[in-house]
Structure 1
C-alpha cells in the first residue's frame, strides 16, 4: 500500500461511499473499521454500511422530493450505496427500502473485492498527525476518538439522542385484523401498492394506547446528559407528550387507507409496518422509535390490534449520537480548519439520514482524490442536492443553533418566476430538480480527477 494512500476511519454509509468513489478514481484507500472487534449499542454485525435504524432510504421520487433527487445525483456519480440499494430493494410504495442484511453484505463484498481498497480492523483512538484522512465514524464514534475530536475542536462535542424502532416477526402478526396496503395505493406494481402492513385502531383503542405509552417505564439519561432529540427521529412517547393527537397526525395517521375487513369503518388511527427483509419474514414498525424499556415495549406494542401475539426480532432502543459544529470547524471541502489533512464526512458532520451521510462521503472521497493529485475541483453549486446540503453544514447554517439536518428544498436557492405557496409547489419542485440535474451533470463532467 502506498504512503500516499487515503485513509478512512469508519465503514458506515459515508465511509463506504467515500472509499468507493476514491478507489474508482484510481486512488489507493485504507478503510479502518473497529467492528467487529469493538461493537456498538446499535450494530448487530461486522458488515460495512450496516443499517442500524430504519431499512429505508426514504422517497425515491427524484422530481418532487429532495431526498429522491439526492438518490439520482448519487447514481449519476456511480455511487455504490445507491447501486446496492436498488439491487436489494423491497416493495415500499414510493420509498426505497432494502433488505438490510443482503444490502450490507453486498456493499462489504464489493469493497473487499476492489483492488484499490484495503480494510483494516481495529479502533483509531486519536487524530492522525500526518497523511490524508477522512473521519466518517458516524453518530456512534468511539469514546476515545470522540474525546480527541472534542479536544482539537476546543469545545465539548455537540450531541443529540437518537432512537431505533422495533422489528416484528411477520408470522406473529394477526392478518385477520391487519391488512396489506400502501397509503393511497401508491406504487407502480400491485406488490408496491401492498407494501405496508396496516393495523387499525378505534378511538378507544388509540386513547388507551396513548395512556399506556405515557405511563410506560422509559430509559433514563445519565446525570449531565442534556442533549435534545433530532426532530426527524423522535421517540413515539416524546411525540405523545407533545399532545394526544400528535401520533394520529404523524406516523399513525389513518388517511389513504381502507380496511378490507371493515371497509365501511374509518379507523381512528393506523399503525404501519414495512417489510424489513426480502423474504418478508420481518417487519419494522414505521415511525415507532422508542426509549421505552424492553418489558414495557412488549406490553404497550401488543396493545396494537393485530400485534397482540407479536414476537420481536429486535426491540427499540435509544443511544447517544455525536456531531461536530461543522459551520465553525470545517471549510467548504469538509476539511478540519485546524488540521486540514483531515476531512469529516457523514452524520458526524451534522447531516441526518443514510442518504445524506453517504452523499457527504461521496463528496469527501472525490475532494480528497483531487487534493492528493494537486487538482482544484470546481465549485459545487448549491442548486444541486449535494451542493445545498454541504453549503448548509459548512457555512450556511447558524453555528450557534446548529442541529442535524435532512436534505430539503428549503436549502435550495429559489427559482425565479415561479408561483409560491401550496398551489405552485409541484411546478416549483420540478424546477428545482431539473435545474439540479443539469448543474450536477456539469459538475461531474468538470471534475478534474
Structure 2
C-alpha cells in the first residue's frame, strides 16, 4: 500500500471516508491512535465508537434536514448508515442505535476489507507529501493540534462538550416513571415506548434547579474559557440562563401524559432514551453535565423515579477542538496552504454524528475522484451535504465561526410558487429539490467512473 490514501482517525468520519475510498478501488491506511493512546471519553479500541449519545436524531427525510442527510448517505452506500440501520433501536421518529453493536459492526467490516489496513499509531505532524485525510474528531491529540497550528498559523478554536449520564434500566422506579414517546411518535408500540419519563411538580422542579446551581462542577484549566456549542449545553449552564430554561428545553412536559396520573399535568419531565438493544441501559436525554461525580449522583437522584438510580456512566466534560474552516479549507475540504491534506468530521466545524460521517463520506469520495482524474467538485448546496460543505468552507463568517448542525437555514431559499408556503410544505420542497440534485450529482460520478 505504498500509494495508499492515508486517513488519520478511525471515528465515524474516518471510517466512512475509508469505506468510500476502498469501495471505489483505492487502497487505504487508517491511522488510529486508540487503543495505544486513549482519550477521556472513549472506552474501547473499536472504530466509530459512539461517545456523547446514541442518537442520529430525526430519520424523517421529508420535513427534516438531518433526515435528508440520512437519505443522501444511504443512497451513496454509507457504511455508517448501514451499521446504524442494522443496529437500530426503537426511538419514535429518531434513529437511535445500540452503540456497542454499531461500533463492533463498523470495526469488523473495516478491518476485514481487503483494501483497508488499520494501524494503531499516533501521528503528531502533517505530512508534506501523499494524500491524507485528517478525521481526528473533537478529541484531536495535543501534539497533532499543535502541528496544525504551526502549519496554518491559526489558533484552533475550542469549545467544551459535555456527556450525558447513563442509567441502568432496572434501577428506575416504574411506579413513578412511565414509558411513552413524546406525542406517541413511532409506528410500533416498541417505538412509542422507547423513552421513560420522570415527572416533576413545580416544587420538585424548583428544588432541582436550586441543586443544579449550587452543585460542585469541574473547573477549567488556567487560560481555558468555556465556549459551549448551544446544541450540547450542560444542564447547569442552561439553568444559569434562567430558571425556566430547562422546562422549555430538555425537561419540557409537552406531548406526554403520566400513565400513573393521567389527570395531572407534570410541571417538567425528565426523559430517558433506550441506549442499547437489550433495553438495560437508558441515557438521560439532554442532561450533558460538568458536575463532579459526587454532586452529580446526589442531584440526579432528586429526579422522581431515579431516587435509587445506578449509573453505568456518569456525565463528564472534555475539550473539543475544531478548525476555522472558512479561513483554512476550500470547498473540497483541502487545507489551502497544503492541499494534499483534507480534513473531515467534527474537526471541520460540523456538529453531530451524522454530519461528521457525511463529511467523511464526501472527503473519501473527493479524494478518490481527484486521484483518478475524475470530477472532484462538491455536491450542490441545494443538497444537505452540499449545504454543510458550503457553510464550513465559505458560507460562514470566519470571524464568528462556530460548530453547526445541518439545518434548512443553510439551504438556498425555495420560491413560493402558487402562493405562500407553510413551513412543512417549504421543508418538503427543500428535500424534494435536494433528492433530485443529489441523485444528479451522484449519477454523474457513477457515469464518469464507468
TM-score normalised to the size of structure 2?
Answer: 0.98
1:430 aligns with 2:434: no
Secondary structure (helix, strand or coil) at the match of 1:322 reads strand
Shift of 1:153: 1.2
Counterpart residue number, 1:185: 184
In structure 2, relative to structure 1, the CA distance for the partners of 1:177 and 1:138 (3 Å cut) is: same
Query: How far apart, in 2, do the equivalents of 1:151 and 1:312 lie?
Result: 42
The superposition leaves residues 52-109 of structure 1 with CA deviations (integer Å, 9 ceiling, x where unpaired) of: 1010000000000000000000000000000000000000000000000000000000
Counterpart residue number, 1:367: 366
1:416 aligns with 2:415: yes
Shift of 1:377: 2.5
Please show how residues 286-435 of structure 1 align to structure 2 within 5 Å: 286-418=285-417, 424-435=422-433
Q: Do 2:332 and 2:378's aligned partners in 1 also have CA atoms closer than 8 Å? A: no
Secondary structure (helix, strand or coil) at the match of 1:403 reads coil
Counterpart residue number, 1:49: 48
Secondary structure (helix, strand or coil) at the match of 1:310 reads coil
Q: Do 2:332 and 2:377's aligned partners in 1 also have CA atoms closer than 8 Å? A: no
Query: How far apart, in 2, do the equivalents of 1:247 and 1:420 lie?
Result: 38
In structure 2, relative to structure 1, the CA distance for the partners of 1:379 and 1:274 (3 Å cut) is: closer
In structure 2, relative to structure 1, the CA distance for the partners of 1:68 and 1:152 (3 Å cut) is: same
Query: How far apart, in 2, do the equivalents of 1:227 and 1:257 lie?
Result: 34
Query: How far apart, in 2, do the equivalents of 1:67 and 1:114 lie?
Result: 28
The superposition leaves residues 273-297 of structure 1 with CA deviations (integer Å, 9 ceiling, x where unpaired) of: 0000000000000000000000000
Shift of 1:419: 8.4
Q: Structure 1 unaligned runs (5+)?
A: none
Counterpart residue number, 2:119: 120
Query: How far apart, in 1, do the equivalents of 2:129 and 2:113 lie?
Result: 25
1:278 aligns with 2:277: yes
The superposition leaves residues 109-168 of structure 1 with CA deviations (integer Å, 9 ceiling, x where unpaired) of: 000111110000010111112110000000000110000001111021110011000000
Q: Do 1:378 and 1:443's aligned partners in 2 also have CA atoms closer than 8 Å? A: no
The superposition leaves residues 401-433 of structure 1 with CA deviations (integer Å, 9 ceiling, x where unpaired) of: 000000000000011125898x70000000000
Counterpart residue number, 1:439: 437
Query: How far apart, in 1, do the equivalents of 2:376 and 2:315 lie?
Result: 43
Secondary structure (helix, strand or coil) at the match of 2:422 reads helix
Q: Do 1:89 and 1:97's aligned partners in 2 also have CA atoms closer than 8 Å? A: yes
Query: How far apart, in 2, do the equivalents of 1:435 and 1:371 lie?
Result: 27
- Identify the range of structure 1 (341-350 vs 369-378) with the bigger mean alpha-carbon deviation: 369-378
1:226 aligns with 2:225: yes
Query: How far apart, in 1, do the equivalents of 2:59 and 2:378 lie?
Result: 27
1:110 aligns with 2:98: no
Counterpart residue number, 2:245: 246
Shift of 1:379: 4.5
Aligned Cα root-mean-square deviation (Å):
1.1
Counterpart residue number, 2:18: 19
Q: Do 1:43 and 1:52's aligned partners in 2 also have CA atoms closer than 8 Å? A: yes
Please show how residues 65-214 of structure 1 align to structure 2 within 5 Å: 65-214=64-213
Query: How far apart, in 2, do the equivalents of 1:384 and 1:23 lie?
Result: 24
Q: Do 1:335 and 1:341's aligned partners in 2 also have CA atoms closer than 8 Å? A: yes
State the number of aligned residues: 447
Query: How far apart, in 1, do the equivalents of 2:52 and 2:416 lie?
Result: 40
Query: How far apart, in 1, do the equivalents of 2:141 and 2:368 lie?
Result: 26
Query: How far apart, in 1, do the equivalents of 2:406 and 2:416 lie?
Result: 23
The superposition leaves residues 189-212 of structure 1 with CA deviations (integer Å, 9 ceiling, x where unpaired) of: 111111100000010000000000
TM-score normalised to the size of structure 1?
Answer: 0.98
Query: How far apart, in 2, do the equivalents of 1:210 and 1:419 lie?
Result: 49
Shift of 1:22: 0.3
Q: Do 2:331 and 2:378's aligned partners in 1 also have CA atoms closer than 8 Å? A: no
Shift of 1:227: 3.9
Secondary structure (helix, strand or coil) at the match of 1:83 reads helix
Q: Do 1:418 and 1:424's aligned partners in 2 also have CA atoms closer than 8 Å? A: no
After the TM superposition, which parts of structure 1 deviate over 3 Å for at least 4 consecutive aligned residues? Answer: 418-421
